[in-house]
C-alpha cells in the first residue's frame, strides 16, 4: 500500500484547527458528511474506503471548499496486518499523527437470523467490531502518550431496541457502545476522550430506494423526519472538539427521538 502525502494548503481556522482526523468509510453517506464537517472546522482529514474514485471526489470537494484532505485506501475486512498497515499509512498521510479517529465504516446486511449468509456474518464482525478494535489499538496509544485525542465510533439506534430482524448487525452496534465505555475508562485518564454517536433512521445513497419506508418509520418521531448525514456529522464534530472536554464514554443519540419516545 502506498502512502499518500498530505496537502500543503493553509489550515483553515475552526474548532479543530491544526488537528488531524481519520474517518473510516468516508467515501459517501454519513462518513463523507463527517469528513466534510471536520475539515470545515479546520482538521486535516484522511478520507478512507475501498473506492478510490469516490474517495478522491470527497477530497476534491473538501479542498474546493478551502479544507485539507487526503485519500487513504482501506479494506477493513482485511487481515489484522492489513488494518495496522492502513493505520500506519493514514498516520503518515496526516503528517505523522492522528488526533481524531472516527470509526464510521460499517456493513449492515439485515435479515432473519437463519437467512444470514456465513460470509456476511464474518464480514460484519470484521468491519463493525474487529476493525475499530485493531485501529484503536494501533492509533490511540500515541494519542495517550501526547495526552490528548478523541475517538468517536458510529453506533445505531437499533442497538438499544429488540428487533425481529438484523440480530447480528444490532449486536455489533451494541458491541461498539460497550467498547466505547471500556475505552473511555482505559484511555480517558491519559487524555483521550472516547464516545459513540448513534444515528437514527438516516437517508443515505445506500438506502434512497427505500425512501417511503424511511419516511414512514420517522413520521411518528418527535422530529418527524429522517435524519440527514449532516445531522450525524454535527454530533461527531461536537464530541471531537474541545466543546466536549468533559464528555467521556457516552452514546449520543442523533435519532430524532426514535429511541427515547413513543408517540403512537
Q: Which of 86, 108, 157, 169 is catalytic?
A: 169
Angle separating helix axes 131-146 and 80-93, nearest 10 degrees: 40
Whether 169 is catalytic is yes
Torsion, Cα 115 116 119 121, to 10 degrees, reads: -160
Edge to edge, the sheet with strand 44-49 lists 68-73, 44-49, 20-23, 100-103, 149-154, 192-199, 251-254
Q: Which three cell numbers stand for residue 38?
A: 471536520
Residue 22 CB neighbour total at 10 angstroms: 29
Contact between 15 and 41 (Cβ < 8 Å): yes
C-alpha cell at 211: 425512501
| 30 phi and psi angles, rounded to 5 deg | -60, -45
- Of the candidates 106, 111, 104, 220, the one whose C-alpha atom is nearest the C-alpha of residue 163 is 111
Query: Which active-site residues does the annotation give?
Result: 169
Amino acid at each position: 500500500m502506498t502512502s499518500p502525502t498530505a496537502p500543503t494548503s493553509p489550515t483553515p481556522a475552526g474548532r479543530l484547527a491544526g488537528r488531524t482526523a481519520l474517518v473510516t468509510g468516508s467515501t459517501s453517506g454519513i462518513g463523507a458528511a463527517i469528513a466534510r464537517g471536520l475539515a470545515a472546522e479546520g482538521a486535516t482529514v484522511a478520507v478512507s474506503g475501498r473506492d478510490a474514485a469516490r474517495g478522491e471526489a470527497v477530497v476534491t470537494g473538501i479542498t474546493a471548499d478551502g479544507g485539507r484532505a487526503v485519500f487513504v485506501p482501506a479494506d477493513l475486512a482485511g487481515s489484522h496486518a492489513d488494518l495496522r498497515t492502513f493505520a500506519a499509512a493514514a498516520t503518515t498521510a496526516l503528517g505523522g499523527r492522528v488526533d481524531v479517529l472516527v470509526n464510521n465504516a460499517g456493513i449492515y446486511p439485515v435479515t432473519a437470523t437463519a437467512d444470514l449468509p456465513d460470509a456476511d456474518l464474518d464480514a460484519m464482525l470484521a468491519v463493525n467490531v474487529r476493525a475499530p478494535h485493531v485501529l484503536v489499538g494501533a492509533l490511540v496509544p500515541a494519542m495517550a502518550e501526547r495526552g490528548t485525542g478523541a475517538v468517536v465510533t458510529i453506533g445505531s439506534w437499533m442497538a438499544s431496541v429488540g428487533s425481529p430482524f438484523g440480530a447480528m448487525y444490532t449486536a455489533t452496534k451494541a458491541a461498539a457502545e460497550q467498547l466505547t465505555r471500556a475505552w473511555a475508562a482505559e484511555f480517558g485518564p491519559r487524555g483521550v476522550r472516547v464516545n459513540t454517536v448513534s444515528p437514527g433512521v438516516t437517508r443515505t445513497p445506500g438506502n434512497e430506494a427505500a425512501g417511503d419506508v424511511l419516511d414512514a418509520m420517522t413520521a411518528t418521531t418527535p422530529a418527524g423526519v429522517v435524519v440527514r448525514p449532516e445531522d450525524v456529522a454535527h454530533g461527531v464534530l461536537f464530541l471531537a472538539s474541545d466543546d466536549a472536554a468533559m464528555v467521556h464514554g457516552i452514546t449520543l443519540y442523533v435519532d430524532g427521538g426514535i429511541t427515547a419516545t413513543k408517540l403512537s
